[in-house]
């Protein structure tokens, strides 16, 4: 996997400037957080909370 492919998997924009040093470039993407994954998790948590709140109102 290339450093560019690693940033793509992490949902970085194509315009993201990758570090010139290959090690640092992998570190950049490895320390990143995939916003799509975080968004999905947040949606699931909110849906669960809404279900719990709806159950309390019954």
Locus of tokens 């947040």: 42
Query: Computed from CA positions of residues 38, 41, 47, 50, in that sequence, does the dihedral angle turn out positive or negative?
Result: negative
Domain coverage including residue 20: 3-57
Chain Cα centroid distance, residue 43: 13
Res. 56 pLDDT band, cuts 50 70 90? confident
What tens digit of pLDDT does each residue of 3-48 get? 999 999 999 988 999 999 999 999 999 998 999 999 999 999 999 9
Per the structure, how many domains does the chain have? 1
Q: 53 or 58: whose pLDDT is higher?
A: 53
Categorize the per-residue pLDDT at 58 as very low, low, confident or very high, splitting at 50, 70 and 90.
low
| Alpha carbon 34 to its chain's center | 2
pLDDT of 26 reads 96
């Amino acid at each position: 996997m290339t450093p560019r492919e690693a940033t793509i998997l992490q949902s970085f924009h194509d315009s993201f400037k990758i570090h010139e040093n290959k090690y640092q470039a992998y570190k950049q993407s490895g320390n990143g957080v995939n916003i799509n994954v975080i968004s999905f998790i947040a949606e699931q948590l909110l849906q669960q909370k809404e279900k719990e709140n709806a159950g309390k109102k019954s």
